[in-house]
């Protein structure tokens, strides 16, 4: 089993709709979680950190469920520019340790 697993998609989303997807992690000791966005042939960029209490940044909401070991990302009012691959990331809190990246979930927002 992979340490961080994601549905590869693609999730085809009408513009203006809401889309949500999850990521599961197997290492119960993981403490830091993030969502990154990666556009085709570009470097991953931080979308948001995921806090235990959940957090929201504009149209994006991230949740952490430690009991079931998954994190989620919800995108409201999808824009064409939200089309990208979303990478789930987890790992130990200390910066000197490795973070583990999921394979990514591809989202395609269509007019």
Partner 1 sequence: NAGVTQTPKFQVLKTGQSMTLQCAQDMNHNSMYWYRQDPGMGLRLIYYSASEGTTDKGEVPNGYNVSRLNKREFSLRLESAAPSQTSVYFCATRGGSTDTQYFGPGTRLTVL
For partner 1, the closer CB: 45 or 110: 45
DSSP-assigned beta bridge partners for residue 105: 86
Does 25 bind partner 1 (CB under 8 A)? Our answer is no
Rounded least distance, CB 69 to partner 1, Å:
19
Does 99 bind partner 1 (CB under 8 A)? Our answer is yes
For partner 1, the closer CB: 15 or 51: 51
Does 9 bind partner 1 (CB under 8 A)? Our answer is no
Give the C-alpha separation, 99 to 27, whole Å: 11
Spatial CA neighbour of 20 closest among 30, 6, 33 = 6
Question: Site mask, partner 1, residues 31-50, x = CB under 8 A?
Answer: -x-x------xxxxxx--x-
Site size for partner 1 (CB under 8 A): 22
Residues 6+ apart with CB under 8 A from 55: 48, 49, 61, 62
Q: In angstroms, what CA-CA distances link 53 with 62, 93, 111?
A: 9, 16, 34
Residues in contact with partner 1 by the rule CB under 8 A: 32, 34, 41-46, 49, 87, 89, 93-99, 101-104
């Amino acid at each position: 089993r992979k340490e961080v697993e994601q549905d590869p998609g693609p999730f085809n989303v009408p513009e203006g709709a809401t889309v949500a997807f999850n990521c599961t992690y197997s290492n119960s000791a993981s403490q830091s979680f993030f969502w990154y966005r990666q556009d085709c042939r570009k470097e991953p960029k931080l979308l948001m950190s995921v806090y235990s209490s959940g957090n929201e940044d504009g149209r994006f909401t991230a949740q952490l469920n430690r009991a079931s070991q998954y994190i989620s990302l919800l995108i409201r009012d999808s824009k064409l520019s939200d089309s990208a691959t979303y990478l789930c990331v987890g790992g130990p809190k200390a910066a000197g340790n490795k973070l583990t990246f999921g394979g990514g979930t591809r989202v395609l927002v269509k007019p």
